[in-house]
């Protein structure tokens, strides 16, 4: 027992030290993003590995564009769809998270009460802000657990501290997934509409914004009635959103 406790203490200090070093690494990388744009994200590299392992090829489409070369229509559409309070919150929109929890609880209760005992999982509504989504995509895996969410919160705070809202939105739009191997606004505009991101009109921008929660799913059903109807809703909201 005398040997056990010193060994345990040493192990705990090692774990704590490793955690602190990891946080310093992450925060330093984010601070550097204020000066240099990241070439790729952890999520993009993960997707590239999955695609190449499954197909033996790497259909990677991505072209970095500054904020001035991305249509304001797309900025407004994405904000209206994903995070209408983007310029107001400090990285976490607690009202949205609370609403998402409530909707998910109601969906689960409805499924439990269904008589057909469907095995399909209820639709999960997310409450993540654009900053949280960016934190997850840049440096984290796609796992969903408490430690990863805690790490996401730390990175979200770092992004909001070191980068402006305009920089955060520009990073997001250049790295978000819009289909299998399609990353960023420029690649999405070329892939779906054969035009640069700077030239997207309101309807095209709204269509792209609607795809964001499930881009690979909607890529397979471009004529979906839901896409068209939801795009009309987003267009109606775009006038109330002002990009940073």
Q: Find residue 182's DSSP bridge partners.
A: 61, 179
Place of tokens 């995509």: 137
Separation CA 212–CA 220 (nearest Å): 14
pLDDT tens, position by position, 223-238: 889 999 999 999 999 9
Most confident of 20-24, 104-108, 166-170, 225-229: 166-170
Q: Find residue 183's DSSP bridge partners.
A: 177
CATH superfamily of 60-89+163-244: Biosynthetic peptidoglycan transglycosylase-like (1.10.3810.10)
pLDDT tens, position by position, 129-175: 999 999 988 887 666 667 777 888 889 999 999 999 999 999 999 99
CA 52 to chain centre: 22
- Is 191 a residue whose pLDDT tops 80? yes
The first and second tokens of residue 155, run together, are 């990175």
**Sign of CA pseudo-dihedral 109, 114, 117, 119:** negative
pTM over 0.75: yes
Q: Domain spans of the chain?
A: 60-89+163-244
Tell me if 244 sits within 8 A of 166, measured CB to CB: yes
């Amino acid at each position: 027992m005398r040997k056990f406790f010193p060994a345990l203490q040493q192990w705990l200090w090692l774990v704590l030290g490793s955690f602190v070093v990891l946080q310093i690494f992450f925060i330093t990388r984010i601070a550097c993003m204020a000066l240099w744009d990241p070439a790729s994200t952890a999520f993009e590299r993960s997707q590239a590995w999955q695609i190449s392992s499954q197909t033996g090829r790497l259909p990677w489409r991505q072209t970095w564009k500054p904020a001035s070369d991305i249509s304001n229509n797309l900025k407004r559409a994405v904000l209206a769809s994903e995070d209408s309070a983007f310029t107001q919150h400090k990285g976490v929109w607690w009202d949205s998270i609370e609403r998402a929890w409530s909707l998910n609880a109601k969906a689960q209760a409805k499924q439990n009460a269904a008589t057909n005992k469907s095995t399909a999982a209820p639709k999960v509504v997310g409450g993540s802000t654009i900053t949280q989504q960016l934190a997850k995509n840049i440096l984290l895996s796609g796992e969903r657990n408490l430690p990863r969410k805690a790490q996401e919160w730390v990175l979200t705070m770092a992004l909001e501290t070191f980068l402006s809202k305009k920089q955060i939105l520009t990073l997001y739009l250049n790295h978000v997934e819009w289909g299998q191997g399609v990353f960023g606004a420029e690649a999405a505009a070329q892939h779906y509409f054969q035009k640069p991101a700077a030239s997207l009109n309101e309807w095209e921008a709204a269509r792209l914004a609607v795809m964001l929660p499930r881009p690979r799913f909607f890529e397979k059903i471009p004529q979906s009635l839901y896409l068209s109807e939801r795009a009309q809703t987003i267009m109606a909201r775009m006038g109330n959103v002002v990009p940073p």
